[in-house]
Structure formats: C-alpha cells, structure tokens
Amino acid sequence: MKRLAVYCGSSLGGSDAYKTGAIELGKELARREITLVYGGSSIGLMGILADTVLDHGGQAIGVIPRVLEEKEISHPNLTELYVVESMHERKAKMAELSDGFIVLPGGAGTLEEFFEVFTWGQIGIHQKPCGLLNIEKYYNPLLHLFDHMVEQKFLQEKFRSMVLVDDSPSRLINQFSVYTPPAVKTYHGEKKIILE
C-alpha cells in the first residue's frame, strides 16, 4: 500500500468523534508512509485529514473539479493538486492513483464515490480493497442494507465480504494489507474469463 484514496465529508459532521477519527487516520497514514489521495479540499473532514497527514510529515495528493475549486476551497499546501474538469474525471483520477479506498463519514457524495469503486471491484475493473472506517457506528445502517441485499439475493455474499469494516484506522489498514479479492466472472463474446 503506497497510496490510499479517502472519501469523506466536506463538513465536520455532528460529532467530534468524526474529526477525531479523521485525525487518527491521518496520523496512521503518515506513520506508515502511505500517501493520502483525496478530494483536494481544505474544509471539513477533508481538510482535517489532509492537514494531519501533512503536519506529521506525510504526503497528500488532492484531486478537485474546477467547479468545486472555489466552493470547497482547494488546499494550498498539498504535495500535489490536480484540478480536473468533472466529477467523473476526479473519481477516475483518484482510483488511478490509489491502491485502495477508505471511506470516512460523509454525505451523498461520499457514498456515491464509495459505491462506484465498490461496483468496479465487483465487476473486475480493479482488485483493490474498499473499507469503511465505521466511526461511532456511522455506517451500521449501510451494513444492515448490505445484509438485506444479500438476503434478498441482489448481492452475492462474496461481494458483501469485499466491504472491509473497522472503527480503528490501524486495524482497517491491516485488513487492506491481507485483502484477497473474490474471483470475478467477466464475459468477452462467447468466452468466460475468471479473474483470480
């Protein structure tokens, strides 16, 4: 793991625990010399996370769409900042730069980013780990929904197991280091290819 993308809110949320969790994750990334790849903002959990990584001698790469550069206030002190033309380009660039994906608490945009890389993993576009940093059990309702999807046969158990979960940054990253992606069937014409 050389670089990890982190998706999180551009606000601080309703609990100080979210800020504390972002700081703990930032320290852990810097300690392990893992470069942060994130949305490039200087505000909210995004800003706290980047500040912590940088303050502890780590590196942080931001990717921000031009339309949000002023609204989200791009971070002035990053190791690198990519200004891109669209949200699609932002997500693609972050995925390209990263060896895995961590999700802190956030809103609809955070979930949209997570679901895209999770879905890409399901269909074999990448084989990188995806994890939820479940601070204050924030993602418990989502985890219940995943279980409901499995029960109702809209999500296979092997793909449900792709969602790594912990409330500790250190333990979550440890899970990343031993992650083995499930075999994924892809079809090319009449050929069925299994990616191991």
Name every residue whose Cβ is closer than 8 Å to that of residue 191 and which is 6 or more positions away in sequence. none
The encoded tokens of residue 99 equal: 């060896």
Question: CA torsion, points 25, 101, 145, 153, in degrees to nearest 10?
Answer: -150
Look at residue 185 and tell me whether its pLDDT is greater than 80: no
- Whole-model pTM: value is 0.91
Is the Cα dihedral 92, 39, 105, 87 positive or negative? negative
Residue type, 179: Y
Question: Phi and psi for 80 in degrees, rounded to 5?
Answer: -145, 145
Q: How confident is the model at residue 175, as a pLDDT?
A: 97
How would residue 69 be classed by pLDDT, with cut points 50, 70 and 90? confident
Q: How confident is the model at residue 189, as a pLDDT?
A: 52
